[in-house]
Structure 1
Amino acid sequence: MASSIPLLETLEITLSASGVAELAFNRPSRYNALSPLAYRDWLAAIQWASKCDAVKVVVLTGRGKYYTSGQELQEPDNSPEGKEFVKKRRSVTKTLVDELINFPKLLIAGVNGPAIGFGVTTLALCDVVYTVPEATFNTPFMKLAFCAEGCSSLLFPRIMGISKANEMLLMGRTFTAPELVECGFVSRILPLEGFCNQVLALAEEAAKFSTDALAVTKKLIRDVDRQELLKVNEIEMIRLTERMKAQDSQDAINAFVEQAKRKKVAKLAKQQQLRAKSRL
């Protein structure tokens, strides 16, 4: 069965003999930012895990210091080609969320570091969330003039309570791991040292259970609001597409991209200065 595991550029998949599939965001040098390819890889991995009989439990995690820094932003391209590209990208994102809503197996998130944007909203679609003590959680949608996504407009208030959800979605407050444990968004905090192995060990224990029993029970839990979640995802994606076309959002994205470029230039200049000093 190992030969059937997809080989993906931005996401690493491993499958244990007992049926635990680890899907790890694997762009550590870019803080596991979600490029268009990363969204497609994530979708391919989830679809594979859903259909593969050898997979009993799935663990989502990240390589490096970040879980994921969310969508990788680029300057808006308002050409016909650019608009078509964005349309396809939104379709992939919507399909990915639908797949997470409908995922029939136990889905565990192991948040190994900071999580941002789509990386946070999709945690609410996982069955269990574990995190390291140092992890932070932020959805900077208002800074970019976006809107809620990943069914967060429904699930965040339900899980966190209205006030905390609004602080995250409407005010962009960064939450700590203990805060999200307190409100029930995260199951529990595990030590940083050996975190990944601890999460995989918990998944291995779950993989010993009856696959059918897990599937039936998850279906009972999810069927209560499955259709509502699918509808919410559809509406959120329509509104997000509208928002990203709006001038205020495009201005915010351009400002973010320019600031990132300036930081990169400054970082390179500092590195050059340090190298020059080391040669003296």
Structure 2
Amino acid sequence: MSQPTFKHFETTLLPSGVYEFAFNRPQIYNALSPEVYKEWLDAILWAATDDRVKVFVLTGRGKFYCSGQEIKRPDFSESGDKADRQKRAVTKALVTALIDFPKLLIAAVNGPAYGFAVTSLALCDVVYATPDATFTTPFMKLGFCAEACSSYTFPRIMGNSKANEMLLMGRTMGVEEMIGCGFVSRTITKDKLRERVLQLAEEASKFSLTALKVTKDLVRQNERPLLHRVNEDEMAKLHIRVRTPESIASLNSFVDASEKRRSERKAIKNKL
């Protein structure tokens, strides 16, 4: 199979077998759209089976790692509802693919991360981050619920109290706190992040891929069935939550505020 190309990601497959997959929408802070989710899913499925790939490195270009889901006005007309169901099916499939990914999956968080970009990090094998990285899951503000298995992975990794501060109270965590609770391995300066992470990935790519797969399976095999059940349950509840009056009101309020800020910025720019 030929190496795929993507519109919203910058990719590099090194001779060593390290595959760098970078969010590349810096003009909108690497926000997630249905097309981005689909490309991410396609890349994970391809890399899982292509023998040229030994290590998958997920990162971002620009100031942000990823600002999370693009927030738009809810549309639950017949066509809007169909599009929403299709988007959630892709998101669910992406989480499934991350759970089952058999190779080393490293995240290099190069700046602020929001929403699904944060929750999906808990399904990576190793997470590095820059000193300015922050981690936010604003689900309660939007009337949503936990996703990407974070209702299970966050308490397991971070402990109940910190996990609930993020998931239930929407508290933004800095990188030092995330290191302290075991979510992030260590920090790497922004100017050295890409170089250092690719170096670490290349060192790991020299190991036996079979040995790596077997060991990763030993680490994760007992919780994979549980993670799949959690993914199923979270997505079913999220499907319901986004259709509630409180969630719709929160989303519309968010869009109203965003449109107002854009209008004010445009007015200031026109005066200059």
2:166 aligned residue: 168
Partners of 2:58 and 2:205 in 1: CA distance: 15
- 1:209-253 CA distances to partner (integer Å, 9 max, x unpaired)? 000000000011110100000000000000000000111001100
Paired residues in the alignment total 272
1:124 aligned residue: 122
Partners of 2:20 and 2:78 in 1: CA distance: 38
- 1:82-133 CA distances to partner (integer Å, 9 max, x unpaired)? 0010000000000000000000000000000000000000000000000000
The answer as to 2:41 corresponding to 1:43 is yes
Partners of 2:181 and 2:5 in 1: CA distance: 37
1:218 aligned residue: 216
Select which of 165, 176, 179 maps to 1:178: 176
2:261 aligned residue: 263
Shift of 1:273: 2.2
Partners of 2:40 and 2:269 in 1: CA distance: 34
Shift of 1:63: 0.6
The answer as to 2:29 corresponding to 1:31 is yes
2:236 aligned residue: 238
Do the aligned residues in 2 keep the contact of 1:6 with 1:13 (CA within 8 Å)? no
Q: Alignment partner of 1:110: what SS?
A: strand
Q: Alignment partner of 1:64: what SS?
A: coil
1:14 aligned residue: 12
1:278 aligned residue: none
Partners of 1:11 and 1:193 in 2: CA distance: 20
Deviates more, 1:90-99 or 1:4-13: 4-13
- For the aligned residues, what is the CA RMSD? 0.8
Partners of 2:239 and 2:67 in 1: CA distance: 20
- The runs of at least 4 consecutive aligned structure 1 residues that moved more than 4 Å come to none
1:102 aligned residue: 100
Shift of 1:70: 0.5
Do the aligned residues in 2 keep the contact of 1:68 with 1:116 (CA within 8 Å)? yes
Letter in 2 for 1:251: A
Do the aligned residues in 2 keep the contact of 1:20 with 1:55 (CA within 8 Å)? yes
Deviates more, 1:263-272 or 1:231-240: 263-272
Q: Percent identity, aligned pairs only?
A: 57
Do the aligned residues in 2 keep the contact of 1:112 with 1:131 (CA within 8 Å)? yes
1:57 aligned residue: 55
Partners of 1:28 and 1:270 in 2: CA distance: 23
1:88 aligned residue: 86
Q: Which runs of 5+ in 2 are unaligned?
A: none
**1:183-222 map, 5 Å:** 183-222=181-220
Letter in 1 for 2:51: D
Q: Which runs of 5+ in 1 are unaligned?
A: 275-280
Partners of 1:12 and 1:96 in 2: CA distance: 18
1:151 aligned residue: 149
Q: Alignment partner of 1:224: what SS?
A: coil
Letter in 2 for 1:12: E
2:247 aligned residue: 249
TM-score by length of 1: 0.96
Q: Alignment partner of 2:242: what SS?
A: helix
